[in-house]
Structure 1
Amino acid sequence: MTKVIALANQKGGVGKTTTAVNLGIGLAGNGKKVLLVDADAQGNLTDSLGFHEPDNLSVSLATLLAKTMLEESYEAREGILHHQEGVDLMPGNIELSAVEVSLVNTMSRETILRSYIDSVKADYDYVLIDCMPSLGMLTINALAAADSVIIPVQAHYLPAKGMTQLLQTISRVRRQINPKLVLDGVLLTMVDSRTKFAKDISFILRRDYGDKLRVFNTEIPLSIRAAETSARGKSIYAHDPNGQTAKAYAAFTKEVQSIGSERRHARQHQTDHSR
Structure 2
Amino acid sequence: MVITVFSPKGGVGKTTLALTLAKVLGETNKVCVLECDFSPGDFVSLLDLDKEKNIVNACLGDYRACLQKPQGEKFDVIVGGFPDMQESLKYADVERLIDSLSSEYDYVLIDLQPQVSEATVPALLKADRVLFVLEDDISAVSRTVGIIEYLKLHGFLDVSKACAVVNKVKGKGKYITAVDLGIPVIYSIPYLQRLSEYKDKKMIRHAKNLKDAFFEVKKEKSLLRRLLNGFKRVEQKDK
- Bucket of the pairwise TM-score, normalised by the shorter protein: 0.7 to 0.9
Q: Does the Cα contact within 8 Å between 1:45 and 1:130 map onto a contact in 2?
A: no
The one of 74, 77, 81 equivalent to 2:64 is: 77
What's 1:121 paired with? 102
Q: By percentage of residues, which structure has more helix?
A: 1
What's 2:128 paired with? 147
Question: Is 1:214 aligned to 2:184, yes or no?
Answer: yes
Question: Is 1:192 aligned to 2:190, yes or no?
Answer: no
**1: CA distance between counterparts of 2:159 and 2:43?**
23
How much does 1:11 deviate? 1.2
TM-score, with length taken from structure 1: 0.69
What's 1:204 paired with? 178
Corresponding letter in the other structure for 1:223: L
How much does 1:47 deviate? 2.8
Q: Does the Cα contact within 8 Å between 2:14 and 2:111 map onto a contact in 1?
A: yes
Question: Is 1:13 aligned to 2:7, yes or no?
Answer: no
What's 2:86 paired with? 100
C-alpha RMSD of matched pairs (Å): 2.4
Question: Is 1:40 aligned to 2:28, yes or no?
Answer: no
**1: CA distance between counterparts of 2:189 and 2:205?**
9
**1: CA distance between counterparts of 2:209 and 2:105?**
22
Question: Is 1:165 aligned to 2:146, yes or no?
Answer: yes
What's 2:207 paired with? 249
1:229-268 equivalences under 5 Å are: 229=197, 235-236=198-199, 239=200, 241=201, 243=202, 245-258=203-216
How much does 1:91 deviate? 1.1
Give the stretch that moved more between structures: 164-173 or 141-150: 164-173
Secondary structure at the counterpart of residue 82 of structure 1: coil
1:248-272 CA distances to partner (integer Å, 9 max, x unpaired)?
Answer: 221002222338xxxxxxxxxxxxx
**2: CA distance between counterparts of 1:181 and 1:111?**
23
1:153-175 CA distances to partner (integer Å, 9 max, x unpaired)?
Answer: 012335343123321243245x3
How much does 1:202 deviate? 4.1
Where does structure 1 lack aligned partners over 5 or more consecutive residues? 68-73, 104-108, 230-234, 260-275
**2: CA distance between counterparts of 1:117 and 1:19?**
20
Corresponding letter in the other structure for 1:112: D
TM-score, with length taken from structure 2: 0.79
Q: Does the Cα contact within 8 Å between 2:7 and 2:14 map onto a contact in 1?
A: yes
Quick one: structure 1 residues 172 and 46, their matched pair in 2 at CA, closer, same or farther if it must change by over 3 Å?
farther
**2: CA distance between counterparts of 1:254 and 1:45?**
26
1:141-194 CA distances to partner (integer Å, 9 max, x unpaired)?
Answer: 321332221100012335343123321243245x3x78x67433011011123x
**1: CA distance between counterparts of 2:47 and 2:212?**
22
**2: CA distance between counterparts of 1:253 and 1:131?**
19
Q: Does the Cα contact within 8 Å between 1:39 and 1:129 map onto a contact in 2?
A: yes
Quick one: structure 1 residues 13 and 118, their matched pair in 2 at CA, closer, same or farther if it must change by over 3 Å?
same
**1: CA distance between counterparts of 2:153 and 2:44?**
29
Corresponding letter in the other structure for 2:174: D
What is the percentage of aligned positions where both structures have the same residue? 22
What's 1:106 paired with? none
